[in-house]
Amino acid sequence: IRATTYSNRKNLPKDYIKNMEENFPPSYIKQFLEGNWDSTQNAVYDQLMSHHIIPRQKIHDHWYKCIGLDHGTRVDTSIVFMAKDESGRVYIYDEWHKPHPTVNEIVQACNRYGPQPIVADYSMKVQDRDYGSWWRDLQSHGLNLIEAVKEKSGNILLVNQLLFQNKLFFFDQLEYVIDQHRNYMFVDKLHANDDQFKVVKKNDHSCDAVQYAVRHLKNVNVKNPSAKWAMINDGHTLDDYVKGKV
């Protein structure tokens, strides 16, 4: 039996359907509102278009910056450098990857633009050597590690929402990251029936790193420095204050 969310409208919050229609990609509308799970679309990021890939531009000082880190023991370790501006746009502006890197190589890569919060896979906390874990070793070198939220379905939705809203951009020199996102695929047509959203676990290291950072950036609000100046520069003169006019 196939049912739609529209048929249950009276039991939903007032703007629930409107909010989904305005903010969710078409593939999600088809599945979660219309109840149609017959899509043959296997691409995870079906909203990724050519206009999301842009030339390098300035990353302003007041933007919030962080790093997404996906550590691999047998495959690539991937680092993505990301920034969020005051309008909510997110930029992937640099990356680094290497198979079997040393602790010092990861530290050096993460410090390329100075200290930044690093959203990382908490599986690195597992002690895998006689003397400790990757997490502890990286922290001992001064890296500010934050545990990533590894909810695959939610993280994928956030990335697709940003793409749909034209708020996620890749600098065009990042071929490694762009190629992995373009080729990021679901295992089969029935992926949406599985809460984990089964994806092909191959050449997806930067995809995981971006997901970790995007989830972290979700609740980060960036203020424009001019807004702070506007509060100070309220249009009154020194004479107004001296004469008690304000």
pLDDT digits (tens, 9 = 90+) for 38-96: 554 688 898 899 999 999 999 999 999 999 999 988 899 999 999 999 999 999 999 99
pTM (whole model) above 0.75: yes
The C-alpha angle 14, 19, 25, rounded to 5 degrees, equals 150
- List pLDDT tens digits, range 102-134: 999 999 999 999 999 999 998 898 876 556 799
Nearest Cα to Cα of residue 83 among 170, 201, 186: 170
The Cα 190–Cα 78 span in angstroms is 29
Nearest Cα to Cα of residue 159 among 92, 242, 81, 228: 92
Structural element, H or E, at residue 107:
helix 103-110
Nearest Cα to Cα of residue 80 among 222, 216, 207, 220: 207
In three-state secondary structure terms, 147 is: strand
> Crossing angle for the helix pair 175-182 and 205-217, nearest 10 degrees?
90
